[in-house]
Structure 1
Amino acid sequence: MAEEELLAERFEEHRGHLRAVAYRMLGSLSEADDAVQEAWLRLSRSDTSDVHSLGGWLTTVTGRVCLDMLRSRRTRREESMDAYETYLPDPVVRSLDRVDPEQEVLQADAVGLALLVVMETLEPAERLAFVLHDMFVVPFDDIAPVVDRSTAATRQLASRARRRVQGSVPASDPDLVRQRQVVDAFLAASRGGDFEALLSVLDPEVVLRADAGALAVGAAASKQVRGRQPVAEGAFIFRQLSQYARPVLVNGSVGLLTVVDGTPVSVASFTVVDGKITAMHILSDPERLARLGLTALYDDRPASPTGEHRDGGVRALRR
């Protein structure tokens, strides 16, 4: 086998891991793929004969690529802050059919959307240190050269990021069955126009973050809403769309995919704590939804009134 083919084969063994690193760093599936491709290009141009761990080398290279991308993105956002006030990272959406709840928590893409939202507020170097060390157990000695800091300073970067994340993201109920019960109750109340039932499933301090895309920022569809009453009012207003919503997995948790006339119109994720929804994140940017490859998750038949259309996953989760 030619040397380049062997190198490409070895790289492919690490592609899934590198994509998981890049997704956590960037919160964008397309940008994560770009970062992984750049890591391959750098590998193909480098002499790695003295590299003892190709996986470790590729992880830090991918981290460096992502750091540059984050810094460039941050500059663009500072020039147009209004366009990013309601920005949501790309959700990873998967079918509930044939899901194994015990295995789902082990999936590489199961980092919560709420966590990714908070990570968007971190400084690029903080995010790199936190992701590489806390999520992928990369030693601080290896991270320090990437951020051009000492090992001690790099440890402080991760510590600051950790404090911000831990203080901002409540731990969602890890049980998919209980998550599904709460989401089902929310969906039934919305479909039935039962305002009191909507209120009962929402935490008093619930936060809704809706991202309809840059073109819609400033319109009612792109917003942040806090409090049970206004969030319930919003769900009540859009209750007609709820008949088209179907349960799916969004970043490893139970969420909703809404499809109208064969076109995905929104993906919603939920944070469930003690039987109440404490946070909702809704992406309805049509351009981004079109890029997520969601067509395999639905067909043209409407959901049933109970939301159990073609849903072997309902039975699996309730066994």
Structure 2
Amino acid sequence: MSAAQGATGDAVSEEPEEFEGYRSRLLGVAYRMLGTVDDAEDVVQEAWLRWSAADRTDVREPAAYLTRVTTRLALDRLRQVRARRESYVGPWLPEPLPTERGPRAEPDGARWVEVAESVSFALLVVLESLSPAERAVFVLREAFGYPFAEIADTLDRSEPAVRQMAGRARRHVRQRQPRFEVDPAQQRRLTERFLTAAVSGDLAGLLDVLAPDVRLIGDSGGKAKAPLRVMESADKVGRFLAAVGQTELPAPEFTFPEFNGAVGLLVCSESRAHSAVLLEVVGERVQTIYLLTNPDKLTRLSPTSD
């Protein structure tokens, strides 16, 4: 029997307000597992339906119980969407979320700010390269501190197997994440220099901010313009940006909102988000550029004022 179950059910409320108290944590698990808001919300809604229909007389720890249900549902969903992503046009990137505090258009905006600011976009990208089970172990252990025994029960694996997966996942993430955290002011300065050089077609200015082995990863889903393959090297990436940076959008607006807790770049036109750019900075140079133009992943982004 897991830590989520026990013989005392008196403390378990039938009221939906109790579930709402756990929703942010469950969204955090699902978003880290799936990388998109719609999938995460669908999983948490299914968890709620199962919770409301279940016999909870023996549930002692609702949080652990709901986390287990959500993780299993997210694993099932992840296996389904990964099969669909095999036919995705071009690279697939997670959905970035704005994390600046303030009024939000969507009803659950404040909750999503809390979820997104606790997980960087770069980490979400790295998590995509883990197996579904390794991803679940990493999320539950590293992000939420669940004990190995509880994770093993959730995944129907042995505890030694879960410990091995945790070690592999941790090493994998450590090898692929930036080694140094970047000061937000430095990130903002580099992002501004990047934009200035791009929109003016200044190749020399771009080369000054790009690392020699910079990579550009575009996500259009075949619905907008973006490279269909990963571009590498400062020369290739710089020339591409210099060519496309002089946008022909009507009355373009450039703002610098926070995405997943880091400064990004949002390009809007006629009150609609056209593209989002997130820069992974190492030292004083841009190491990776994430360019999202798929309109499906821009619907929750809107212009923000400095």
Question: Is TM > 0.5 for Structure 1 vs Structure 2?
Answer: yes
Change (3 A) 1:141 1:26: same
TM-score, normalized by length of structure 1? Answer: 0.82
AA partner of residue 19 (structure 2): F
Counterpart position of 1:147: 155
The structural deviation recorded for 1:266 is 0.6
Correspondences of 1:1-319 after superposition (within 5 Å): 6-78=14-86, 80=87, 83=88, 85-95=90-100, 107-110=114-117, 111-171=119-179, 173-215=181-223, 221-241=227-247, 244-290=253-299, 292=300, 294-295=301-302, 297-298=303-304, 310-311=305-306
Change (3 A) 1:97 1:205: farther
Taking the aligned partners of 1:141 and 1:85, their CA distance within structure 2 comes to 39
- Confirm or deny: 8 A CA contact 2:266 2:275 kept in the other structure: yes
Contact 1:96/1:248 (CA < 8 Å) preserved in 2? no
* Superposition CA RMSD, Å: 2.4
Q: Is the 8 A contact 1:89 1:117 kept in 2?
A: yes
Residue identity matched to 1:225: M
Paired with 1:85 and 1:153, the residues of 2 have a C-alpha distance of 34
TM-score, normalising length: structure 2: 0.85
**Contact 2:138 2:169 (C-alpha < 8 Å) held by counterparts:** yes
Deviation at 1:197, TM superposition (A): 1.2
Counterpart residue type for residue 86 of structure 1: P
Distance, in Å, in 2 between the alignment partners of 1:4 and 1:145 is: 21
Instruction: Evaluate the alpha carbon distance shift between residue 197 and residue 96 of structure 1 in structure 2; reply closer, same or farther with a 3 A threshold.
Output: farther
Provide the C-alpha distance between the structure 1 equivalents of 2:43 and 2:102, rounded to a whole number of angstroms: 31
Letter in 2 for 1:289: L
In the comparison of the two structures, how many residue pairs are matched?
283
Q: Which moved more, 1:177-186 or 1:242-251?
A: 242-251
Aligned CA distance change for structure 1 residues 171 and 97 (closer, same or farther; 3 Å) = farther
Following superposition, the deviation at residue 166 of structure 1 comes to 1.1
- Consecutive unaligned residues in structure 2, runs of 5 or more: 1-10, 104-112
Give distance in 2, aligned partners of 1:181 and 1:23.
29
Q: CA deviation at 1:171?
A: 3.6
Partner of 1:306: none
Relative to structure 1, the CA distance from residue 275 to residue 65 in structure 2 (aligned partners, 3 Å threshold; closer, same or farther) is: same
User: Which deviates more from structure 2 when the two are superposed, residues 50-59 or residues 21-30?
Assistant: 50-59
In structure 1, what is the Cα distance between the partners aligned to 2:90 and 2:173? Answer: 18
State the alpha-carbon separation in 2 of the partners of residues 114 and 84 from structure 1: 21
Aligned to 1:304: none
SS at match of 2:166: helix
Say which SS state the counterpart of residue 223 (structure 1) adopts: coil
Following superposition, the deviation at residue 27 of structure 1 comes to 0.3
Instruction: Tell me if structure 1 keeps the 8 A contact 2:90–2:218.
Output: no
Q: What is the Cα deviation at residue 174 of structure 1?
A: 3.8
SS, match of residue 93 in structure 1: coil
Shift of 1:97: 8.0
Q: Distance in 1 between matches of 2:243 and 2:139?
A: 39
For 1:220 and 1:180, the matched residues in 2 are separated by 23
